[in-house]
Amino acid sequence: MTSDHRPGKATVSRRVLLAAGGLVLLGELAAGEGRGVSPRDRAASPKPSGPAAPSRPDRAASADARAVAARSQKERAARASADSPAPHAAHGSGPGYTPTASGQPIYYLDDGPMVIALTIDDGPSPIYTPQILSLLRRYGVVATFSMIGENVAAYPAIAREVAAAGHLIINHTWTHANLTELAPAAMADQISRASDAIEEATRATPVMFRAPYGAWSPAVLAQCRQMRLAPLDWSVDPRDWARPGVSAITTNIMRNTRSGSIILEHDGGGNRAQTVAALSYVLPRLLDKGFHFRTA
């Protein structure tokens, strides 16, 4: 048998080649008419820049992979939640906690790098709230004030001053009661009366709630959902409420504050001179480190 490329092999005539080409062209025209697209149109159409769409089995396999990944992610989140320690019963849940599912207490902000929040609890106070407002104004810092309803009712002008300065006022119950120890009706009354007092004083309805002592329960969270109040906790507790000293408060805040931290301080509930003094040190130092304050 001879090779096609050996010398002397007869070549295909030009007429045969033309006839074959005509048959191919007729076949393409017929196929194009069957699809409603001519060869010219196909040639003019831009080619897809990305990969072709996967076939139906590929899409099914992709969906299965996503489902497996989603289940794996949920399982990891559940294990991480189970490994986390329970919140402390008194004055907060401490550092190391992150927001869980929607409707759960918020322990950290998620608003970009170097963003933090300062929260001031248990006021308003006719003695310490004005001093803290002066410091915040001096350094251009906004804060979130968790106010007790009966204090708002007693000092509505101070609450209005806080709101007028651009700070956020949120609900901290009527009397600073531990809601987990109350009957459902009493618990709901503590929250609703505080909201009413804040709205009456400031003409603004609270949109967030902080549980006294950081004591949350399913019933408290359900009440928050019903009243459309986002539950707010904290991640940095310098224990200023215990008056450990200005140096201890300052050191605690500077050591534990990082991007997303929610810092807990107090302007009510007792002598808060140490808190005011500590803030006069802490605020400029945090600003020098590049932190940006926002309301919670």
Q: Which of 91, 167, 172, 266 is catalytic?
A: 266
Q: How many CA atoms lie within 13 A of 250 on its CB side?
A: 14
Q: Is 5 a residue of the active site?
A: no
Q: How far is CA 57 from CA 63, 70, 71, 170, 279, in A?
A: 10, 20, 21, 53, 62
Q: Is 266 a residue of the active site?
A: yes
Is 117:144 a contact under the CB 8 Å cutoff? yes
DSSP 185: H
Alpha-carbon span 215 to 196, nearest angstrom: 22
How many residues are there in the chain? 296
| Burial class, 48, CB count within 10 angstroms (exposed 0-12 / middle 13-18 / buried 19+) | exposed
Q: Which of 91, 121, 233, 237 is catalytic?
A: 121
Active site residues: 121, 266
